[in-house]
Structure 1
Amino acid sequence: MKERVIAVSVANLWTDPDSSRQIDTSIVANPSDPSRWVHELSHTDKLELHENNLLQSQVLFGMTVWETESKDDWVKVVIPSQSTPKNPQGYPGWVPARQLADPLPQSEHMIEVRAKQSTILIEDTSEVMQLSFLTKLPLVEDSGTAFTVLTPLGRGRISKSESRLWTARQEDGKALIMYAEQFIGLDYLWGGMSSWGYDCSGFAHNMHLAGGYAIPRDASAQALQGKAVSLDQAKPGDLLFFAYENGKGRVHHVGFYYGNGQMLHAPKTGKQIEVLHLAGTEYETELCAVRRYWS
């Protein structure tokens, strides 16, 4: 396998090279335009991502992927930071070859975007790119009001007010909720793993990542790990899992326990990230597990 990095704001991980459609032109380009893409998608376009099994996941600017094969202008990769039973090396899927670059030099320190979104100025080209929450890049130097970082496009500058020096600390459940709350009102996106849209398990995965925890990418795998907790002992930041057949079938959804019988979650296509009371909803009858990953 060959190491590569993502060279666009966010790359879609497609099921196969034929999965992208005409409406997806702006997200398979380089530079990609995720804001335009999600704005132009109709409800039917969004539903197709799931119902026609087009989109698997997403991966952020500068993140490492491993190339496993290529076909025409497409490359099959695995994402080592997104664990899955689908592949022991990481989440598998296809990205356009033009969205990949050679690995970045190693750095002792990393800068991580902590705002919902940030911008980066690429020094050589004066290009301005949008970056998602949790984008992580190698630090070159502290430049006063900005950090100078290495990117697949050359050196860039990120505002200090929107980023911070990455540390390997682990935070509590309340911190996970705080990170999640900033996305209330954001449209759900199947396969979403960025601040342009999350799906339910991508939302759980990335908010845990923000708090210092690496958990599996998909809800079905998330439900099998962590510490089992009874619902009456659940605390904010714990994960609630839901399954078909009144909780006895296949796991299909995950959300954060919010306290007072409420859940914070990314519901489904056509809905926004929200807080809701479980009582009287289909979720109440489908609850199948509560898991805690934070300590």
Structure 2
Amino acid sequence: MKLAAAKVPVSTVWTSPDAPRDLDAPAVAAAPDVAAWAKSMDTETRLGLHGRTLTQLLLGEPVMVRAERDGWSEILAPWQPSSADELGYPGWVPSAHLGELPVAATDPIAVRVPTAALMAEPGAGAVAELSFGTVLASVDHADGFTKVALPDGGFGWLDDDATRAVQEPAKAEDRIQLGSLFLGLEYLWGGTSAYGLDCSGLIHAVSRVLGQRIPRDAHDQAAALEQLPVDEVQPGDLYFFARPDQKIHHVGFVSAQGMLHASETGKRLENEALTPERRATLVAAARL
């Protein structure tokens, strides 16, 4: 296997090279436009992503490449722990989305706003739009901007107002504040970016910004995190849901209103009271 990194702002991970449909072309292009792709889909076409998409990689995220075929790379994403493979979340991405690892890997900062402009120089025009949850190594600082290391030996600059030091201590209320940035965002199966999130993608992305690496999928999150009684939860904790004799299928942040979560395809990220149906399938809680 060889090491690589995502060199595009968002790369969607697929179940196989044959999984993308014609309408998914913007997502698998050499220079993907994930925002346009997400905007183009209605509920029916979003439902069609089930069994096709798995997760997403963000700029600079490392991967291990274990095979290449017809312009595609079979990868493992170690920043996204998974029971499917002990080395990281498995799947396929276009090989054009991958480059060499950044030259630096220290003092990481995370994009803490929905999208941030990546600049060639401080205060210059944007050369790319980076998603919430993007984590890059900082190598210099000047006048309210941070220089970051990029794949293939490049560098760029981010406004300090758009970033957060990964090592900065996190509070429970930070999870609700960051998750609330996406209220109204339409659910996207496999989404971990500002252009669409699924339930566990929301939890994973917020945790990444706050410096905590947790599994990608809800059932793996429940297995890995500190369990606590459902009646002892506090805002910022997690609720997990499952149907009888089934594995956990849904997760959300406990909130003062009830739960902040990405509901399901056809719905939008919301902060609402638990419905009777939700309470009937509430099976566990955990603390980050």
- TM-score, normalisation: structure 1: 0.91
Letter in 2 for 1:185: G
Structure 1: runs of 5 or more not aligned: none
Q: CA–CA distance in 2 between the matches of 1:220 and 1:78?
A: 19
Q: Taking structure 1 as reference, are residues 127 and 28 closer, same or farther at Cα in structure 2, changes over 3 Å only? A: farther
Q: Is the 8 A contact 1:243 1:253 kept in 2?
A: yes
Q: CA–CA distance in 2 between the matches of 1:104 and 1:229?
A: 39
Q: Is the 8 A contact 2:200 2:250 kept in 1?
A: yes
Q: CA–CA distance in 1 between the matches of 2:90 and 2:61?
A: 14
Q: Tell me the CA shift for residue 45 of structure 1.
A: 1.4
Q: Tell me the CA shift for residue 75 of structure 1.
A: 0.4
Q: Tell me the CA shift for residue 107 of structure 1.
A: 4.3
Q: Taking structure 1 as reference, are residues 190 and 182 closer, same or farther at Cα in structure 2, changes over 3 Å only? A: same
Q: Taking structure 1 as reference, are residues 287 and 30 closer, same or farther at Cα in structure 2, changes over 3 Å only? A: same
Q: Tell me the CA shift for residue 142 of structure 1.
A: 1.3
Q: Is the 8 A contact 1:56 1:191 kept in 2?
A: yes
Q: CA–CA distance in 2 between the matches of 1:204 and 1:167?
A: 16
Task: Please identify, of 186-195 and 98-107, the stretch whose mean Cα deviation from structure 2 is larger.
Answer: 98-107
Partner of 2:251: 254
Q: Tell me the CA shift for residue 3 of structure 1.
A: 0.5
Q: Taking structure 1 as reference, are residues 181 and 283 closer, same or farther at Cα in structure 2, changes over 3 Å only? A: same
Q: Tell me, yes or no, if structure 1 residue 265 matches structure 2 residue 264.
A: no
Letter in 1 for 2:271: V
Partner of 2:279: 284
Q: CA–CA distance in 2 between the matches of 1:127 and 1:207?
A: 24
Task: Please identify, of 283-292 and 205-214, the stretch whose mean Cα deviation from structure 2 is larger.
Answer: 205-214
Letter in 2 for 1:255: G
Q: Is the 8 A contact 2:107 2:138 kept in 1?
A: yes
Q: Tell me the CA shift for residue 26 of structure 1.
A: 1.1
Equivalent residues in 2 for 1:136-151 (5 A)? 136-151=135-150
1:66 to 64, 67, 80: 64
Q: Is the 8 A contact 1:176 1:210 kept in 2?
A: no
Q: Is the 8 A contact 2:166 2:210 kept in 1?
A: no
Q: CA–CA distance in 1 between the matches of 2:174 and 2:212?
A: 12
Q: CA–CA distance in 2 between the matches of 1:94 and 1:116?
A: 25
2:271 to 272, 275, 283: 275
Q: Deviations over 1:225-255 (max 9, x none)?
A: 322222221101111111113xx43211111
Equivalent residues in 2 for 1:108-187 (5 A)? 108-122=106-120, 128-152=127-151, 154-164=154-164, 166-187=165-186
Q: Is the 8 A contact 1:170 1:213 kept in 2?
A: no
Q: CA–CA distance in 2 between the matches of 1:214 and 1:169?
A: 14
Letter in 1 for 2:171: D
Q: What is the percent sequence identity of the aligned residues?
A: 35
Partner of 1:86: 84
Q: Taking structure 1 as reference, are residues 85 and 160 closer, same or farther at Cα in structure 2, changes over 3 Å only? A: same
Q: Tell me the CA shift for residue 122 of structure 1.
A: 3.8
The runs of at least 4 consecutive aligned structure 1 residues that moved more than 6 Å come to: none
Q: Deviations over 1:29-81 (max 9, x none)?
A: 1321111110111222110111xx00011010111011000111000000000
Structure 2: runs of 5 or more not aligned: none
Q: Tell me the CA shift for residue 114 of structure 1.
A: 1.6
Partner of 2:98: 100
Partner of 2:19: 19
Q: Deviations over 1:97-126 (max 9, x none)?
A: 111101111243233212111011246xx7
Q: CA–CA distance in 2 between the matches of 1:190 and 1:62?
A: 22
Q: CA–CA distance in 2 between the matches of 1:106 and 1:152?
A: 10
Q: Tell me the CA shift for residue 284 of structure 1.
A: 1.0
Give the SS at the match of 1:251: coil
- TM-score, normalisation: structure 2: 0.93
